[in-house]
Amino acid sequence: MAISKEINGVEEACKDVKDGMTFMLGGFGLCGIPENCIEELVRLGIKDVTCISNNAGVDNFGLGKLLKKSQIRKMISSYVGENEEFERQMLSGELEVDLIPQGSLAERCRAGGAGIPAFYTPAGYGTEVAEGKEVREFNGQPHILESALEADFAFVKAWKGDTAGNLIYKGTARNFNPMMAMAGKITVAEVEHLVPAGELDPASIHTPGIFVQRIIQGSNYEKRIEQRTVRTKD
Amino acid sequence: MALDKIGIAKRIAQELKDGYYVNLGIGIPTLVANYIPEGINVEFQSENGVLGMGAFPFDGEEDADLINAGKQTITTLDGAVFFDSANSFAMIRGKHVQLTVLGAMEVSEQGDIANWKIPGKMVKGMGGAMDLVASADNIIVAMMHTNKAGESKLLKSCSLPLTGVKCVKKIVTNLAVLEVTNEGFKLLERAPGVSVEEVQNATQGELIIKGDIPEMNL
């Protein structure tokens, strides 16, 4: 019998989040974000949290909802250009912001989940990002030491999942979700389709269920498109 | 006459070679995909996790789960693959991507690039740009030669916070194609009808002019 990770509802899955915790939230832009968990964090009204997420949502969607209610004390991201409220809070000093290169962000999450405390990368050498970090040459090229990231909770979103916590992502909605799933002390996965263990092809699973502590059937996905670009049929 | 953005994209497209995996940045670089020379096969990587990007979807066929790094809806071509962000940057840092094209606010004659922050004014973040410029062997910058105030963007040294050091190899602007060398910006080609003097006047950094400078062949 597979170990069941199934939780009945987002309230139960988020019941022990607390003020001041560090969260990871999957997604790139608004693609692949844990919409249900974000709604629940807004509803719970927890404060002073640190959010590790590639982006910060837009003004009224995604992490923008937590920002609007001033629930976030610090953001760790690579790109935050789509959110006016974010900019306002950052420039006024209400919000602490740590901007880090996207590849380093991904690898720091992966390292956190993989038991690697730190690693060297060439990204950011000679820039503000390298300030205060150890520099070391490998093969004649300078690299900087980057440390692993971990979180009290990781909130990830997948397309399909089974009750054993195994996850399959759709398209580019995968992005940061697999690494963040690995790096959460408690990882909550919300999925569009939750199926019984045994129904997913083991060879097609992207995130093994061992990294997931709680899985819920998500609901009411809006899946908003940030930049709708199309061509017309002749 | 100076080139427009499409002209810059067309000239950069001539740098594509058969078998290249290419990462295109947001803005002018994205346009390069529209002008792939005939008879060659290249694949476009987008750092949010797709290789084998195709055109924009037809109206009504867009998918919220299928975007590029500019958050635009896209399609995929036969042979395409999706992957996570760590794998994506393994491709980039591991030098599996042969060409990176990106925009810039400033480039120095040493090949330093600044494109992510204007202190006190604009802080959007570096996204994947620092990882891309730190690792790619072949980096082409696509940009206007001067900024909106008419000031040169090709400088002796960058004034804005850097994205990477000594990494830019080639620059294609609305006025010229230039190579970054140990001595400075080497002028390779002029935009059609643009004189060497015009390029010189728009370049603050050291400009190296050797022999006759041909016009771009677009």
- The band of B143, judged by pLDDT with boundaries at 50, 70 and 90, is very high
Per-residue model confidence (pLDDT) at position A83: 85
In whole angstroms, give the CA distance from residue B83 to residue B85. Answer: 7
Per-residue model confidence (pLDDT) at position A232: 85
- The band of B39, judged by pLDDT with boundaries at 50, 70 and 90, is very high
The residue length of chain A stands at: 234
Is the complex ipTM higher than 0.85?
yes
- pLDDT, one tens digit per residue, over A2-34 is 999 999 999 999 999 999 999 999 999 999 999
In chain B, what percentage of residues exceed pLDDT 70?
100
Mean pLDDT score across all residues of chain A: 96
Per-residue model confidence (pLDDT) at position A234: 66
Q: Which of A177, A229, A232 to mutate to test the interface with B (most CBs of B within 10 A)?
A: A229
- pLDDT, one tens digit per residue, over B165-178 is 999 999 999 999 99
B 69-128 near A (Cβ less than 8 A): 69-74, 82-86, 88-89, 92-93, 112, 117, 123-128
For the cut 80, the answer to whether the pLDDT of residue A82 exceeds it is no
Per-residue model confidence (pLDDT) at position A30: 97
Is A30 touching B (CB cutoff 8 A)? yes
In chain A, what percentage of residues exceed pLDDT 70?
100
Closest chain B CA to residue A57:
B71
* Max CA distance (Å), chain B: 54
CB A51 within 8 A of CB A180: no
Inter-chain residue contact B65 with A122, CB threshold 8 Å: no
- pLDDT, one tens digit per residue, over A145-163 is 999 999 999 999 999 999 9
Q: How many other C-beta atoms can be found within 10 angstroms of the C-beta atom of residue B113? A: 30
Taking the model in full, what pTM does it have?
0.96
Closest chain A CA to residue B113:
A127
Is B23 touching A (CB cutoff 8 A)? no
For the cut 80, the answer to whether the pLDDT of residue A127 exceeds it is yes
CB A102 within 8 A of CB B49: no
For the cut 90, the answer to whether the pLDDT of residue A233 exceeds it is no
Distance from CA of B8 to the nearest CA of A (A): 22
For residue A136, what are the β-bridge partners? A143
Backbone torsions φ then ψ of B11, nearest 5 degrees: -65, -40
Mean pLDDT score across all residues of chain B: 96
For the cut 90, the answer to whether the pLDDT of residue B27 exceeds it is no
Cα A144 to its chain centre, rounded Å, is 24
Per-residue model confidence (pLDDT) at position B1: 83
Return all residues near B212 (Cβ < 8 A) that are at least 6 apart: none
CB B69 within 8 A of CB A81: no
For the cut 80, the answer to whether the pLDDT of residue B76 exceeds it is yes
Residues of B with catalytic roles:
47
Closest CA to B144 of B109, B116, B175: B175
Q: Which of A127, A149, A191 to mutate to test the interface with B (most CBs of B within 10 A)?
A: A127
The dihedral region occupied by B99, where left means phi > 0, alpha psi between -120 and 50, and beta the remainder, is beta
Mean pLDDT in residue range B127-152 = 96
Query: Both tokens of residue B214?
Result: 């041909």
Is A233 touching B (CB cutoff 8 A)? yes
